[in-house]
Structure 1
Amino acid sequence: MRPPPVKLTEESAMPPPVSRPRGRKILAILIGSVLALIAGLFAFGPMGPATAAEPAADEATLPTSDTPDFGENVKIYDSSTSADTIQKDFDAAFDAQNVSPTAQFGDQRYAFLFKPGTYDRVWANLGFYTSVAGLGQNPDDVTINGALNVDSGWNYGDTSNATQNFWRSAENLSVVPEGGTDRWAVSQAAPMRRVHIKGNLTMGPSNQDNGQGYSSGGYLADSKVDGKVSSGSQQQWYTRDSDIGGWEGGVWNMVYSGVKGAPANAFPSPPHTTLATTPVTREKPYLYVDNAGKYQVFVPALQKDSSGTSWPDTAGESIPMSRFYVAEPGDSAARINQALEQGLNLFFTPGTYQVDETIKVTRPDTVVTGIGFPTIVPEGGVTALSVADVDGVKVSGLTFDAGTTNSETLMSVGTDGEHTDHAADPTSVQDVFFRVGSSVQGKATTTLAVHSDDTLVDHIWAWRADHGGAATGWTANTGDTGLLVNGDDVLATGLFVEHYQKYEVVWNGNRGKTIFFQNEKPYDVPNQAAWMNGSQNGYAAYKVADSVTDHEVWGGGSYAFFNTDPSVKLDHSFEVPEAAGVKLHSVLTVSLGDKGTISNVVNDTGGAVPNPAGNTTPRNLVSYP
């Protein structure tokens, strides 16, 4: 397989497809005095107010509702909405991005939500920052006859490939695909969760057999595919806790855990890494509308040794939206923290949030979620979001952009040095994405620091940008490490970390596990002298501390593409201590287009890439030691 081309600089600014005035702040001015008189009548539940209204002053109760206004970037359909209206909305969102030089790093954000029902003739092309979700309690409550379509041919500067099909998602609905096969040719930060494909599913673009059409890795979870799944040109792919009719294809490493119908473990020929179950899971919270027309967020329960879908009859609890503060772009960090102090959960609507102080989550079991890729940008070098060392916080559906002043961390979980057992109710981080360099020249030393024991990291992409709306480069958008783990018993399922300048993953906690790891080393290393780790050439992608006695990895890949100076060498991609409890399974390295050398896979074992020169052949290591 040929390497993907160098990714080009892109940015974006397009208007939202719908416009629906919120009017809440204007209303507050008019009725503020009345609300002050009735504030004492508000009834509070165990997690916050059952009802509320716009505050008349900063110290007043913040507003909540079971039928909130989700804002102008969210479009909600019911079965009475015409197919023409739905199609017009999708086309308006996508066409503005089609071969647009400003789309990839723009401020457009979309969420298309479908109430229970059947929707015919919907062909939904998904561009950047686009989410499609059903509002039923089960995926089969919403049926789309048509397609959720992601393909190549539309991305400016790289129309031949799908390697930049980032930042889009599909959740909690079923699809009857036109022609029998749905196409989901995505790369990083593009999850498909809790979806029922009533036909076949392919993850390669339509031109994948014509000398191009590369795609670089993705994530499928809690889903059912009645027919076959074809991975096509996907270099790596992770499927978790799903039910499929079969699987075709595989390039470097296809990884499965808890997947009914998955092929047998056979890495590297064919390249399938298969685990019968997933050790610990808690599916992502999701929004739904109940029979009374009120909105709730369902929080699935923790599972051990899971396999197959969690639905129907998903175990868990529903939280009414009246226990959430619905954040909108323009809300300050102080206002968001006020909501948390009030005992509310957080629900972020699509848009960009500039925060000049840390959003602090301190209450156990708080839910912090978002739709439509809400993006949080820290100012002044603050940490954007911190989670205390408490039980059961659920963080999902957020994107973090580093600001122009360096942040030591973008997000932290727990307190360094504290070790409290959270196994019965761990914190989870799901579909959370980090960017160092995008529309601005961002800087962050570490993007995600996990200190709490037992934390579940379920699908993140931590990315020091190799291209962006703002210029990128070795001294422009700086970042040392994508993921730092100090907690014990932390599990990562679906870990994507790319292009950081030192160790990209540092794992100091004991008894950690990773199922699926995908990595590209930084493209822009200026020369060998600028990238030395003491006497070693470069920094490993995945570093397990020497003090660790128990750690395990399944299905890891690390790629070199040192296009600035192809003579650059990396001694190894995985660096681990020699301990009986430290084990790696199905790991590989690749030199893309012979741009640079990785001398070994793990420590001094595995051999070098290029292997041999000229054909992007991976160096596979079935197990270590």
Structure 2
Amino acid sequence: MNVTVFDPSMPISQIQAALDAAHARQVDNEMGRERYAFLFKPGTYGTATQPLQIKVGYYTEVSGLGASPGDVIINGKVEVYNRCLGDGGTSNCIALNNFWRTASNLTIDINALGQDGCRASANFWAVSQATSLRRVEVRGGNLSLMDYCTAGPQFASGGFLADSKLPFVINGSQQQWLTRNSEIGEWSNGVWNQVFAGVEGAPGEAGFPTPPYTTLDTTPLSREKPYLFVDARGSYQVRVPSARRHTRGLSWNGGETPGRTLPLSEFFVARPSDSAQVINAQLARGMNLLLTPGIYDIAQSLSVKRAGTVVLGLGHATLTAVGGQAALEVADVPGVVIAGVTIDAGPVLSPVLSPVLLRVGKKNGNNGVRKNDPANPTTLSDVYFRVGGPHIGKADISLEVNSDNVLIDHTWVWRADHGTEGFSGDTERWNTNIGRNGAVINGDNVTATGLFVEHFQQYNTIWNGENGTVILYQNELPYDPPTQADWMNGGVEGWAGYRVGADVKTHQLYGGGVYVFNQNNPAIHTENGFEVPRTPGVRLHHIMTVNLGAGTIDHVVNGVGGPADTTRTGLPVYVTDYPAP
């Protein structure tokens, strides 16, 4: 199953060898099929003279099995370094492609014994999208979100952390980052868009955009990701945290995270060899679903119909919609939790099936009153999407939310800008990897904390529901339109990276960025990064566009803000508030 459970009685050398072997397989395995979960039973791992130094590669989860982060202590490190892509792995060292990995529910007592002076200066977590740190405490040194110890340029484009207690944090080269409901000792700097929500010790936003901080005193709606743990009797349980409103700081500071506990016996433990028909039969019986690491070829939609169902993936378990149908359909019911799951488009765009990868609620709603609950929202946590990358992918929409009262707590919705599909160039990619929209939100009262959507061929995000709230939005427009004619929205040049529907009356966005890199045709223009109705209830706070070296965004929002073009590559164009106060 590619799930390894460690016990503190095991020799550290044995644990280190297993982790080192997995990292050697996964450090460059960006588009591979292997998936791993390394789980640590309660106890202490590593000593002062023999620390456990863990390096985390692609599609790897490192998690503690304690009821609280303090139940599993790693004397050593849990790290991600840059990948060096030039000169045989000795130069062009970046974290821009360090995707799909996670660490959670443990404490790191930093011990750098045996590392050189630079490596010993911090615990490095140099990552970009589709990565998370959750329920982690770091002690005894700095946490660095960039790797400054390898040959440059050392770029990074993350990222997300939540419910964690951290020392001095070095943001470094991280272009954007969301820190939610945590405690930090200090934060070093910002690049373009660093957002804090409900964080004790967060820097203020006075002086924006220098530094580019967006700070919310509390998080309006949050729910921590479910986690597997071992109780005092040695039985496996899943803790499902409750949704909370207007919170600040850690969920576990005063003891157990509020929520409910489900025994593992109430979960169907699925393997990649299980068919969609088998999994659906278990869901219909009222079982929850635990997806062990691997790739699941989904020939018919997985259907979640029961309120309160939990679908929890380990080790970046991946569902592939092989026949053009939705990989996952969630009924319009309250309290469903989908967490730790990656969803891939398959190679078929069906003219009969609705080409959506994950749909929450029926598009036109149910007859009568919708069955949802503001106090118990359906929640998506660390749910990632790919159209292309490891293979050709086609999907009209990746994420469609039709239900009201839904929480999206960290997602990366990605139409691939690179991969191993065998394309001869970007024009072939544009005509083959088909993805019209990344996220379409039709439900009311939907909240997103950490919404990352990139490279789709029309609007990347469309928000049609009322009273939506987004805390950190990151978008790159597609790299690969062949010509301006291919990148036209009727008579308008290009499609905004973020669109709020013309009839929407209330909407809030805190900290948003749209980036342009039209490498296939640098002459292409996009008129606006953001497109929203001109109404007092739709408010954007701290938004920006930036040029990454090719193409132009003419305005930030609705004709406001100057061009992000190659005369100011890497220098954002900011709008502090829209509409202006």
TM-score past 0.5 threshold: yes
3-state SS of paired residue (2:418): coil
- Counterpart in the other structure of 1:88: 17
2:338 to 373, 381, 395: 395
Kept in 1, the 8 Å contact 2:6–2:41? The answer is yes
1:234 matched to 2:174? The reply is yes
- Counterpart in the other structure of 2:34: 108
Kept in 1, the 8 Å contact 2:291–2:314? The answer is yes
2:143 to 196, 201, 222: 201
Q: Distance in 1 between matches of 2:458 and 2:211?
A: 33
3-state SS of paired residue (1:530): helix
Kept in 1, the 8 Å contact 2:446–2:467? The answer is yes
3-state SS of paired residue (2:97): coil
Q: How many residues align?
A: 547
Q: Distance in 2 between matches of 1:245 and 1:431?
A: 25
3-state SS of paired residue (1:260): coil
Per the normalisation by structure 2, the TM-score is 0.92
- Counterpart in the other structure of 2:532: 576
- CA apart distance, 1:355: 1.1
Q: How does 1:302-321 map to 2 (within 5 A)?
A: 302-311=243-252, 312-321=255-264
Kept in 2, the 8 Å contact 1:442–1:477? The answer is yes
* Letter aligned with residue 109 of structure 1: R
Kept in 1, the 8 Å contact 2:93–2:152? The answer is no
Kept in 2, the 8 Å contact 1:160–1:207? The answer is no
Q: Distance in 1 between matches of 2:547 and 2:408?
A: 28
* Letter aligned with residue 70 of structure 2: D
Q: Distance in 2 between matches of 1:381 and 1:435?
A: 14
1:166 to 83, 99, 106: 99
- CA apart distance, 1:282: 1.1
- Counterpart in the other structure of 1:561: 517
Residues 78-104 of structure 1, C-alpha deviations (whole Å, 9 max, x = no match)? 110111011101111111244x4xx11
- CA apart distance, 1:566: 0.3
1:423 matched to 2:423? The reply is no
Q: Distance in 2 between matches of 1:74 and 1:159?
A: 33
3-state SS of paired residue (1:86): helix
- CA apart distance, 1:417: 2.5
- CA apart distance, 1:471: 3.3
- CA apart distance, 1:211: 4.4
Q: How does 1:326-341 map to 2 (within 5 A)?
A: 326-341=269-284
Kept in 1, the 8 Å contact 2:547–2:568? The answer is no
- Counterpart in the other structure of 2:414: 463
3-state SS of paired residue (1:191): strand
- Counterpart in the other structure of 2:348: 405
Q: Which ranges in structure 1 are unaligned for 5 or more consecutive residues?
A: 1-70
1:260 matched to 2:200? The reply is yes
- Counterpart in the other structure of 1:367: 310
Identity of aligned pairs, percent?
A: 48
Structure with bigger RCO (C-alpha 8 Å, 6+ apart): 1
Q: Distance in 2 between matches of 1:601 and 1:252?
A: 14
Residues 430-462 of structure 1, C-alpha deviations (whole Å, 9 max, x = no match)? 100000002210100000000110100010000
- Counterpart in the other structure of 2:561: 606
Q: Distance in 1 between matches of 2:518 and 2:121?
A: 41
* Letter aligned with residue 385 of structure 1: L
- Counterpart in the other structure of 1:142: 72
Kept in 2, the 8 Å contact 1:558–1:573? The answer is yes
More strand by share: 2
Q: Which ranges in structure 2 are unaligned for 5 or more consecutive residues?
A: 112-119, 424-428
Kept in 2, the 8 Å contact 1:265–1:275? The answer is no
Residues 175-208 of structure 1, C-alpha deviations (whole Å, 9 max, x = no match)? 0112462110100001000100113211011247
- CA apart distance, 1:331: 0.5
Farther off after superposition, 216-225 or 403-412: 403-412
2:8 to 70, 79, 82: 79
Q: Distance in 2 between matches of 1:474 and 1:513?
A: 31
Q: Distance in 2 between matches of 1:239 and 1:583?
A: 22
Kept in 1, the 8 Å contact 2:84–2:94? The answer is no
Kept in 2, the 8 Å contact 1:133–1:172? The answer is yes
Residues 149-187 of structure 1, C-alpha deviations (whole Å, 9 max, x = no match)? 101135688851110000000010000112462110100
* Letter aligned with residue 501 of structure 2: A
3-state SS of paired residue (1:398): strand
Q: How does 1:181-580 map to 2 (within 5 A)?
A: 181-198=122-139, 199-207=141-149, 211-225=152-166, 227-266=167-206, 267-311=208-252, 312-406=255-349, 408-418=355-365, 419-471=370-422, 473-580=429-536
Q: Distance in 2 between matches of 1:297 and 1:420?
A: 25
Residues 285-333 of structure 1, C-alpha deviations (whole Å, 9 max, x = no match)? 0000111111000001111101101003211111000000000011000
Q: Distance in 2 between matches of 1:256 and 1:544?
A: 23
Kept in 1, the 8 Å contact 2:92–2:153? The answer is no
Q: Distance in 2 between matches of 1:552 and 1:251?
A: 23
3-state SS of paired residue (1:95): helix
Q: Distance in 2 between matches of 1:358 and 1:214?
A: 38
- Counterpart in the other structure of 2:117: none
- Counterpart in the other structure of 1:617: 571
Kept in 1, the 8 Å contact 2:143–2:170? The answer is yes
- CA apart distance, 1:476: 1.5
- CA apart distance, 1:276: 0.3
Give the ranges of 4+ consecutive aligned residues of structure 1 lying more than 4 Å apart after TM superposition: 154-159
Q: Distance in 2 between matches of 1:331 and 1:286?
A: 23
- CA apart distance, 1:379: 2.0
| Higher alpha-carbon Rg | 1
Kept in 1, the 8 Å contact 2:436–2:458? The answer is yes
- CA apart distance, 1:614: 4.9
Q: Distance in 2 between matches of 1:352 and 1:251?
A: 36
Per the normalisation by structure 1, the TM-score is 0.86
3-state SS of paired residue (1:480): strand
Kept in 2, the 8 Å contact 1:151–1:206? The answer is no
Q: Distance in 1 between matches of 2:419 and 2:392?
A: 8
Kept in 2, the 8 Å contact 1:152–1:159? The answer is no
Q: Distance in 2 between matches of 1:272 and 1:478?
A: 35
